[in-house]
Amino acid sequence: MTGGFLMVMLVGFFLFVIGLITIHFLPLLLSKLNGYVLPKGTFSWPLLGETLSFLNPHPSNSIGTFLQHHCSKYGKVFKSHLFFTPTIVSCDEELNYFILQNEDKLFQCSYPKPIHGVLGSLSMLVAVGDTHKRLRSVALSLVTTTKSNPQFLNDIENTAIQILDSWKGKNQILFCEEARKFTFTVIVKQVLGLTPDDPHTSEILKDFLTFMKGLISLPLYIPGTPYARAVKARRRIASTVKAIIEERRKNSTTASSSQDNTRNFDFLEILLCVDALSEDEKVSFVLDSLLGGYETTSLLMAMVVHFLDQSTTALEHLKLEHQNIRNMKNINDMSLNWEDYKKMEFTQHVISEALRYGNVVKFVHRKALKDVKFKDFVIPSGWQVLPVLSAVHLDKTLHADATQFHPWRWENQEQTCKKFTPFGGGSRCCPGSELAKVEVAFFLHHLVQKFRWRTECGDLPFAYPYVEFPRGLPLYVEMYESNGVVDKKEN
């Protein structure tokens, strides 16, 4: 009886393996039967394919050994099997641009299902079709209204000053932690009108940190795992946001009845008047705003500070620009404004170069909606497509000295082109990119005039594929005075 049971188990296992192999290679077989000419490449192991090799960590200012090997062997466009599905990987400038410009026509945003579980189906990052259009339209309207608003600019500057003042007397800080503190304070104030000492702020931050850890973890919905905790944290954040919305509505009604003209100038105030979005869409919009304004902006700040430490010439040039802006200010009104921001030309070059060289986003997920012919090959309908943005940013045939941090390249190079897509492209280009640049620029304005810094050797931005500094970017800092350096410490 034991032998028969073992035989059944062996047969079952054998059939399971055959099934996996069949499902794994079936797309290749069907493509050949349909006469498709696919890019070169390999599917490798059943089920997992080449996913683990593709996700192997590497410095974010390189494309990593996986892409180096595959591009040299198969070309800039190749087939693979990634994230449990047949995939076309593109490191090609023309194909990436073609994919991004044909959203909802030939291709569609298609992130792995586990990400939907954490972000929610109504998140602008994963939503498609009319839902995405409605959310994006509101986002663009809010950004247009906000970016030059004096109150928003004052909030950014005041928060930057508060963060930097807290460094007094310290000789070392963890910059990633400080940058996240800065961006979170700015975004919760702008989106929800909350100050750092508001009870809701600490409540949201606690859940948001849990949410972020789960977003980049293994998608195992088992109690106690980071993924499961993240899903629950998102629900708690949603409940908190709904409570804030309800409280705001009551206050608005009370203010109207008492003819009180005081009002908040934040995203939530505007969202309450938007009839095009449902209540759940408004909540999801708030979560997207927190995510975009917190993590990616703080990472960009860290990259700028890290790369400037490697380029003394660029740092001195940047410092001179901000000293000139400060010298032109009226002594009775030293606050930064939108006109000051527009004068920060070299600052913009530094930010753009950090985005190109550091690559906050390595690639995006898309899916072919129909058979798509591009040049000499076909991308079959239903296949996953991964435009690798970092590969184009670091392509030596497109950018001179591509492996060097050189902000001056942007003096003569067009930024809104096929060669530079740090915020994506087409109808899914990040609507809040300008707000992120304003935050970074204003923080730099005060940082370069108050402090000198140096980084610890060996702490580089690594792509996992999400990007982070493994050690949190420790900085040794020294504070300036107009006549020199003060609070200098032996390190």
Output the known binding site for heme.
430
User: Rg for the chain (alpha carbons), in Å?
Assistant: 25
Cis amide leading into 465 (omega within 30): yes
The CA distance from 128 to 125, in Å, is: 9
CA distances from 426 to 64, 418, 445 (A): 26, 11, 31
- Return binding residues: 430
**Helix intervals (H) in 216-371:** 226-257, 267-271, 279-291, 297-309, 312-327, 338-343, 345-358
3-state secondary structure of 312: helix
Extract the tokens encoding 394: 């670091």
Residue with tokens 């009108």: 193
Contacts of 212 (CB under 8 A, 6+ apart): 230, 291, 294, 295
Report d(CA 306, CA 422) in Å as an integer: 18
Short-list 383, 395, 391, CA closest to 363: 391
Residue 285 CB coordination number (10 Å): 25
Q: Which two tokens stand for residue 440?
A: 């970074």
Q: Which residues of 252-275 are buried (b: 16+ CB within 10 A; e: fewer)?
A: beeeeeeeeeeebebbbeebeeee
DSSP 293: I
C-alpha 453, offset from chain centre = 26
User: How many angstroms separate the Cα of 287 from the Cα of each of 20, 95, 205, 295, 468?
Assistant: 38, 32, 12, 12, 21
Among residues 28, 64, 73, the alpha carbon closest in space to that of 49 is found at 28
